[in-house]
Amino acid sequence: MRVNFTVNGRQQEADDVWEGESLLYVLRERLGLPGSKNACEQGECGSCTVRLDGVPVCSCLVAAGQVEGREVVTVEGLADFAKQRAEGGGCASGACGTTLQNAQQWQAGGTDSQTGEGTELSAIQQAFIDAGAVQCGFCTPGLLVAADEMLERNPTPTDADIREALSGNLCRCTGYEKIMDAVRLAAARQSEAV
């Protein structure tokens, strides 16, 4: 079957999709967006978290056909998504879109041989780097999408709020302390910026 949907503001079309394929598989294997991760493919680890019409979901549990005509934001589009939210004042639906030019910019980044120092990142992405919340990094994309969504709803979370919001995202490397630090840091920077 063919599936038409919007990914990071850009219209996408996936052909020859087998009915049993997940949104995660279509993103990773058909659209060249492997940022969403495949740690368990059973909805337990959160590494594949994306936003579907604004709602964080495990993309491994969403059948590809279910996203027909809908809006998906992945980690690859998170920086643009956050930027547009900041500029446009709210983008909770996930439908605020990325220009074609911007979309091509982040896609081209994958072949850059540099660290991407100077790359424009969302607050939560930068905070994860600065706080040391990234080790192997396999949980990172899902955590970023989930944490960004929580900060959108709740810009001043308590520690208990953060733990509750991120309890569906497993991390095996960090012991979560630096992830807590990163979310606190992003929240603090955002509140300073307002």
Partner 1 sequence: MASPSGTPTKITQGSQTKGGIGESTLRPDGTLKVTGEFAYSSDMWHEDMLWGQILRSTVAHAEIVSIDTGEALAMPGVYAVLTYDDLPTAVKNYGLEIQDTPVLAHGKVRHHGEPVALVAADHPETARRAAAKIKVDYRELPVITDEASATAPDAILIHENRDDHHAGHVPHPNIVHRQPIIRGDVAAARERADVIVTGEYTFGMQDQAFLGPESGLAVPEEDGGVHLYIATQWLHSDLRQMAPVLGLPEDKVRMTLSGVGGAFGGREDLSMQIHACLLALRTGKPVKIVYNRFESFFGHVHRHPAKLYYEHGATKDGKLTHMKCRIVLDGGAYASASPAVVGNASSLSVGPYVVEDVDIEAIALYTNNPPCGAMRGFGAVQACFAYEAQMDKLAAKLGMDPVEFRRLNAMEQGTLLPTGQPVDSPAPVAELLRRVKAMPMPPERQWESSEGADVRQLPGGLSNTTHGEGVVRGVGYAVGIKNVGFSEGFDDYSTAKVRMEVVAGEPVATVHTAMAEVGQGGVTVHAQIARTELGVTQVTIHPADTQVGSAGSTSASRQTYVTGGAVKNSCELVREKVLEIGRRKFGSYHPAWATAELLLEGGKVVTDGGEVLSDLVDVLEDETVEVEAEWRHRPTEPFDLRTGQGNGHVQYSFAAHRAVVEVDTELGLVKVIELACAQDVGKALNPLSVLGQIQGGTTQGLGVAVMEEIVVDPKTAKVKNPSFTDYLIPTILDTPTIPVDVLELADDHAPYGLRGIGEAPTLSSTPAVLAAIRNATGLELNRTPVRPEHLTGTQLSEG
58-117: contacts with partner 1 (CB under 8 A) = 74-76, 78-79, 106, 109-117
Question: Residue 142's closest CA among 47, 21, 17, 41?
Answer: 47
DSSP-derived secondary structure letter, 12:
E
Q: How far apart are CA 49 and CA 72, in angstroms?
A: 10
Question: What tokens were used for 52?
Answer: 């579907």
Q: How far is the CB of 88 from partner 1 (least distance, A)?
A: 21
Q: What are phi and psi of 10, to 5 degrees?
A: -115, 135
Query: In terms of CB distance, is 90 or 172 closer to partner 1?
Result: 172
Give the separation between CA 129 and CA 127, rounded to whole angstroms: 5
Among residues 18 and 89, whose Cβ is nearest to partner 1? 18
CB of 114 to partner 1, least distance (A): 5
For partner 1, the binding residues in 152-191 under the rule CB under 8 A are 160, 162-164, 166-180
User: Collapsing DSSP states into helix, strand and coil, what is residue 7?
Assistant: strand
Provide the minimum distance between the beta carbon of 98 and partner 1 in the complex, in angstroms, as a whole number: 14
Collapsing DSSP to helix, strand or coil, 15 comes out as coil
- Minimum Å gap between C-beta 89 and partner 1 is 24
Rule CB under 8 A: choose which of 69, 118, 192, 194 binds partner 1.
118
